[in-house]
Structure 1
């Protein structure tokens, strides 16, 4: 056996082992949580309000809070993030200003979530209390926007960069404006990549705990407006496990959270394939 072939076999074996180990760890975690939590899931668990600080009852307010938080966060972050990506990729050339913006987004991506939470608590919850309502879905969403903007901007910029330049040049050569070219040519082709960035952002928001502990307030009540306090499923899981010690409720919440993430990824994957087929 030649040295090149032997090295190829070793590299393939190590990469296969790494992939198998990753899948095994993931399946082990999912299986353990689901085996402990599925027994807790029923209609009452999903639709009732919690009692005794979450140790009994259901998780309906946490489900509603998660949906509200994700929806408002994406509603605010998508135009800002995609707009910034369009500006960076389509309107300005390489230079100091562009490097500063990219450095800022990369710096934001490296900041721990608890720092975002502390800033959100001081700025949105305390200083802007009259506008945001203090601990509220709005305060949590604004904090979440800061957390996911780097992901949306960089992934959207990469999607826009992958659109072939001849398509832009051909459109402009026909006398169209730059914005018309972006709207009719670039964005439709880049949309699957932009959608991927939004899917990653949903995962970041759904799985976050520390930042929302300081901005959502952790209320067990059903949020009636966006100015009410709330809690996400991840935050509910943490607070039930740490404050009440009822691990059955915690595992049940974890199982619902996993099922929710699987459903979101499945629907997003189906939509992604449909868009790829449409624009290919």
Structure 2
């Protein structure tokens, strides 16, 4: 063998020098530091939540009873109740969910599955992303102009229906974004398999893609409704009152009547100087949390049911 060839082959087999350093000890140390920071952040959030819950329970359990739930507001804290605000809040949540969920899911399905990749679709996508960060009071001004004034013959002006439609607009971008992200998580092979068997695009989306994405869509809807239940600024702009002595009726006329909401009632009581109103405000917060837990529990049950059936 030629010595020159042998020397050239040995040079080719020599590993190239690199600047990479494994530094396993440093990596493990960085991993432990990041893990410790994560644990501290988690326990800090839990500790703050526990302190808030203990404070609310300590201040509100003494005045929380059946009479408080079924009574109307009063200028005397010992006679005041939460019933009109509770009924109005349930009304608002039902209207918001019935409007925002089908419209939001339908819009997300269209934009993700059927819309062409053109300038119009890009403009709509950018605007939806921007609308998710718009302050809630802007939605209140929009609801006041559109629902309480333009469509006053239908909604009754500053009514529960106007408030529910305004909250639906508020959470609509969140549901659309959540729907699109859930649809993107579904593998394209499922779509191709459905259409390869002769299904149309709509049949594939309806029978295969949408059921797979529904748990993620329900998660986004839960978060959106949780935001809507605590909003006060858009409802105040639309016309929610701080004092409503009677609960709205369970009828079409009740949807067009004046209303209040539990966050607004709580804010009204907290702003008063008497300690008795502060105590019943804490009781109202407990009731609001129970309503939120019931709503989220129902949505989580539906999500798990669809996920298990899938």
Task: Give the alignment's TM-score, normalised by structure 1.
Answer: 0.93
Residues 1-10 or 72-81, more deviating: 1-10
| C-alpha contact (below 8 Å) 2:71/2:79 kept by paired residues | no
Aligned residues: 279
Q: What CA distance in whole angstroms lies between the structure 2 residues aligned with 1:103 and 1:215? A: 27
- Cα deviation, residue 188, structure 1: 1.2
Which of 226, 238, 257 is equivalent to 2:255? 226
**Whole-angstrom distance in 1 between the partners of 2:238 and 2:271:** 19
- Kindly state the Cα deviation for residue 82 of structure 1 after the two structures are TM-superposed: 0.6
Aligned-pair Cα RMSD in Å: 1.9
Deviation at 1:243, TM superposition (A): 5.1
Inter-partner Cα distance in structure 1 for 2:78 and 2:145: 30
CA shift in 2, pair 1:114/1:163, >3 Å: same
Work out which of the two has the higher radius of gyration on C-alpha atoms and give 1 or 2. 2
- What is residue 150 of structure 1 aligned with on the other side? 173
Match status 1:236 vs 2:261: no
Once the two structures are TM-superposed, the CA of residue 247 in structure 1 deviates from its matched residue by: 0.7
Larger RCO, structure (CA 8 Å, separation 6 or more):
1
Structure 2 CA distance for partners of 1:64 and 1:244, relative to 1, 3 Å: farther
CA distance in 2, matches of 1:244, 1:205: 28
Q: Distance in 2 between matches of 1:123 and 1:176?
A: 41
Q: Does 1:125 align with 2:148?
A: yes
Is this contact kept in 1: 2:178–2:220, CA < 8 A? yes
Matches within 5 A, 1:255-274: 255-274=286-305
Give structure 2 stretches of 5+ with no counterpart: 1-23
Query: Deviation at 1:130?
Result: 2.5
TM-score normalised over the length of structure 2: 0.84
Q: Quote the Cα distance in structure 2 between the aligned partners of 1:120 and 1:92.
A: 28
Q: Distance in 1 between matches of 2:58 and 2:264?
A: 21
Quote how far apart the aligned CAs of 1:118 are: 2.1
- Map 1:15-34 onto structure 2 (within 5 A): 15-34=38-57
For residues 137 and 168 of structure 2, the distance between their equivalents in structure 1, rounded to whole angstroms, comes to 14
Q: Tell me which protein shows more helix as a share of its residues.
A: 1
**For 1:42-71, what per-residue CA distance to the aligned partner results, in whole angstroms no more than 9, with x for missing partners?**
111111222238773211111111111010
2:137 to 72, 96, 114: 114
- The secondary structure found in structure 2 opposite 1:231 is coil
Which ranges of structure 1 fall in alignment gaps of 5 or more residues? Answer: none
